[in-house]
Structure 1
Amino acid sequence: MESIDLLSVRLCWGNVNFDYVHSDSIGNSGGILCIWDPNSFRKDSVTVSDYFVIVRGVWIKSGMDILIVVVYAPHDVRDKRLLWDYLSHVSNQWAGEVVMMGDFNEVRYKSDRFGSNFNAHGADIFNNFIINAGLEEVPLGGSAYTWCHKSASKMSKLDRFLVSENLLNTCPNISAITLDRFLSDHRPILLREASFDYGPTPFRFFHFWFDVDGFDKFVTDSWKDAPGDDSNAMRNLCGKLKFLKVKIRAWYADYRNNSKGSVTNFKEELRILDELIDKGNGSDEIVNNRLEILGKLQQVNKAQASEVAQKAKIKWYVEGDENTKFFHGMLNKKRSQLNIRGIMINGTWTDNPKAVKQEFFQHFRNRFDKPPDQNAHIDMPFPNSLSTDQQKDLECMVSKEEVKRAVWDCGTDKSPGPDGFTFGFYRHFWSTIENDVFEAIKYFFHMW
């Protein structure tokens, strides 16, 4: 690709509405072509090198300043190190968001190579460059390797997307995927922002609800109103928890709507009181009213902060003003890292929610299905055996005190199962649910 003409670019892009910049190839390797839709991205300036193309501009839809870097890294270790230093400098000098992409000709981990030697020193330098540039790698779905030798004896993950940390926070649905390779020795990689509907959001109990007036009575009354099943204590407990989840979801929706309205009202009341105080009408009654409203507003803000902290699984004890944007960004980043964007099914990458859920269901069904009736027998004498008292002790029913002690020994934020109720919930409402929990455990032991 010594030079490129407009017609070739148009054939590559598919229509006449485009802008582009390119870097010529060096011999049989290299060469970069960067094309974009001017209705989506407005170019401000470009920098072209043998090993990269930098395009600075604005993402028109959001008005976000963005630095796009397309890389075709050299093989030489010294040249690569110079490239990493320069790109790190460029990234740190840029005030907006950064997206780097392309063939970096380097791996990050030993698992990124197959059939060839892993250069730990080169990987360390590359990883340090990513950290120093303030970048995060976008998880890549599909094939584990992006480059394959024609003999298929060597494979490596050389191609990737690196983006600024803030971009990953503000756009948590960003994901990357490998495409089919066909004639090239590299698989194309695609960066996209797409969310998939995997059904209703799983229920999660939040501990700040304990501090909401009337919540304890609401839960206690709902538990008493829940339909029971006297024939099966385990099903009875699960049914009551399911009933309670439905009730709490409805309660929480009303609570959030009311909280938004309350915050608006509190702020308006504060504004009116501040105007009176500024005019010299700051009586004791007005000052006390202002302090009371401030207390209510802080209580709402504290509840919101507690919710974010539990979602992010971090400790948050901050006096005064909270850096809400920072913690929401941390939460979005964690969600992005934990998101399941697809899975390999029989060697094919699938992101269809229905197919993904079915594959997970079959996997766990095969693992936890009832084992066959063939029992294992060990035909050998054992010099030591349990006494009769020890056998009785193992087979006896656990007591309520033992069950309670087991619950109290677990962390409050953890959940004993997939129902979303934490151990903190069980502790707080133990007097209400104790009998149902114990009866379910007794029923479970009798089954075995």
Structure 2
Amino acid sequence: MEKMEIFSVKMCWGNFVFNYVHSDSVGNSGGILCVWDPSSYRKKDVTVSDYFIMIRGVWLKTGCDLLIVSVYAPQELNEKKMLWDYLTHVINNWKGEVIIMGDFNEVRCKSERFGSNFNVQGANVFNSFIVNAGLEEIPLGGCSFTWCHNSATKMSKDRFLISENLMITCPNFTTTSLERYLSDHRPILLRESHFDYGPTPFRFFHSWFEMEGFNKLVEDAWNEAPVDESNAMSNMMKKLKYLKQKIRDWNKGNMKSSKNIKAKLKDDLKAVDDIIDNGEGNDEVVKLRMDVLKSIQDIDKIQSLDAAQKAKIKWSIEGDENSSFYHGVLNKKRSQLNIRRILVDGTWVDNPQRVKNEFLHHFSKRFDKPATNRASLVMNFSKILYCDQQVELELKVYKDEVKRAV
């Protein structure tokens, strides 16, 4: 029996280089099978249940502890509540990263279910579980629904959930729904994708105004820019292009300088703290420490302003001294808004050059000059309004008249 199970897993996996854990089926519900490459993930221990398989181990690529949970949730709401509560307890006591996947038998909002009743209470409980467990959903690419009834009258969505810190450290995680063929579920592929779409667009940061010398840099660059007196618009474009390059060079050098200055300030702070710890502190040393702290805080404030602007949040309303909050919001927005692949003739394309070409082709067709053989009206209109026409145009418009016209 064991050899048969291994052979069956090998048919799914493709070779014998794997470890696996499975739970048996319960009634009409199928079991759960988890398979992984031992060179990428090292298992420590496993918890197997009728509704989930929980694997604790180490992600060898990063060396971090990783909890992987594969779920096949029950249908009854009270049983699902018990499952969500248990998983929340385990995740909150886990000192590492988390990935949860599978069939949750629940949706987060009405738009994720089609052809069946939407249970508001169940959705609220599920959303509370995601928040309380500190999880984030990875946006799904491809088809909107991952499960479809054989009659094609009912559909719903499955998903991947990961810990908030994993979203920050691995912002390039993406999920895509694949073809379902004979199954009623579409497989979901999770992977970390790195695509180079060329240079990033130029963005102006408000924090630059807080830096000494920036205003003079802009003024000098504008006066030094080449002048094209033959065309005012071309002259403006060339001056802006010259200014943009000057700001880029200044920002690159300023970032490197700020990093070095902050490192030196931290060393200075440590030296001052050592003096105080040795009992040699005085008013001058305390003042020096306050000055060093203020300089570090000024640098941190500028960096936080940049992160807040990238994440499109207001510092005064949603500010937090913990900069990881901003990076979390920023990476989440990037993950949600990034276009990493597109569907072309039924095939998902993720090559950056092909993606850009498809966008160019699509919008070129939409905004290109219309064909010359356009329809035209050849009618002779009078250039004079007669008195009765003038009176009719100036009459008050009534509601019934509008209804008749519509």
Q: TM-score, normalised by structure 2?
A: 0.81
Q: Is the aligned partner of 1:332 residue 2:337? A: no
CA–CA distance in structure 1, aligned partners of residues 73 and 281 of structure 2? 68
Which whole-Å deviations, capped at 9, do the CAs of 1:76-110 have from their partners, x for residues lacking one? Answer: 44544443343334333433322111122333333
What is the Cα-based RMSD across aligned positions, in Å? 3.4
Identify the residue that residue 86 of structure 1 maps to in structure 2. 86
- Show the 5 A alignment for 1:35-54: 35-54=35-54
Contact preservation (8 Å) 2:116, 2:154: no
Q: Is the aligned partner of 1:60 residue 2:60? A: yes
How far is the alpha carbon of 1:255 from its aligned partner? 0.8
Q: Is the aligned partner of 1:245 residue 2:248? A: no
Contact preservation (8 Å) 1:141, 1:341: no
Question: Can you give the 5+ residue segments of structure 2 that lack an aligned partner in the other structure?
Answer: 396-406
Identify the residue that residue 165 of structure 2 maps to in structure 1. 166
Relative to structure 1, the CA distance from residue 17 to residue 110 in structure 2 (aligned partners, 3 Å threshold; closer, same or farther) is same
Relative to structure 1, the CA distance from residue 267 to residue 123 in structure 2 (aligned partners, 3 Å threshold; closer, same or farther) is closer
* SS, match of residue 26 in structure 1: coil
Q: TM-score, normalised by structure 1?
A: 0.74
Which whole-Å deviations, capped at 9, do the CAs of 1:299-339 have from their partners, x for residues lacking one? Answer: 32222222222222223359xx9322333233222222222
Identify the residue that residue 441 of structure 1 maps to in structure 2. none
CA–CA distance in structure 2, aligned partners of residues 289 and 80 of structure 1? 58
Identify the residue that residue 355 of structure 2 maps to in structure 1. 356
CA–CA distance in structure 2, aligned partners of residues 60 and 360 of structure 1? 38
Contact preservation (8 Å) 2:21, 2:34: yes
Structure 1: which amino acid aligns with 2:72? Y
Which structure exhibits the higher relative contact order, with contacts defined as CA atoms closer than 8 Å and separated by 6 or more residues?
1
- Show the 5 A alignment for 1:85-164: 85-114=85-114, 116-121=115-120, 122-151=122-151, 153-164=152-163
Identify the residue that residue 256 of structure 1 maps to in structure 2. 255
- Show the 5 A alignment for 1:265-276: 265-275=264-274
Structure 2: which amino acid aligns with 1:221? D
How far is the alpha carbon of 1:289 from its aligned partner? 5.3
* SS, match of residue 180 in structure 2: coil
How far is the alpha carbon of 1:191 from its aligned partner? 0.8
* SS, match of residue 184 in structure 2: coil
Contact preservation (8 Å) 2:72, 2:103: yes
Contact preservation (8 Å) 1:145, 1:155: no
Relative to structure 1, the CA distance from residue 285 to residue 7 in structure 2 (aligned partners, 3 Å threshold; closer, same or farther) is same
Contact preservation (8 Å) 2:45, 2:55: yes
Question: Can you give the 5+ residue segments of structure 1 that lack an aligned partner in the other structure?
Answer: 386-448
Which whole-Å deviations, capped at 9, do the CAs of 1:196-249 have from their partners, x for residues lacking one? Answer: 111111211111111222211111111122233434433332332222111111
* SS, match of residue 57 in structure 1: strand
Which whole-Å deviations, capped at 9, do the CAs of 1:128-160 have from their partners, x for residues lacking one? Answer: 333333322211111222123344x33523322
* SS, match of residue 183 in structure 1: coil
CA–CA distance in structure 2, aligned partners of residues 175 and 8 of structure 1? 28
Relative to structure 1, the CA distance from residue 263 to residue 370 in structure 2 (aligned partners, 3 Å threshold; closer, same or farther) is same
Which whole-Å deviations, capped at 9, do the CAs of 1:375-416 have from their partners, x for residues lacking one? Answer: 99998967359xxxxxxxxxxxxxxxxxxxxxxxxxxxxxxx
Identify the residue that residue 213 of structure 1 maps to in structure 2. 212
Identify the residue that residue 177 of structure 2 maps to in structure 1. 178
Structure 1: which amino acid aligns with 2:336? Q
Relative to structure 1, the CA distance from residue 51 to residue 252 in structure 2 (aligned partners, 3 Å threshold; closer, same or farther) is same
CA–CA distance in structure 2, aligned partners of residues 129 and 281 of structure 1? 53
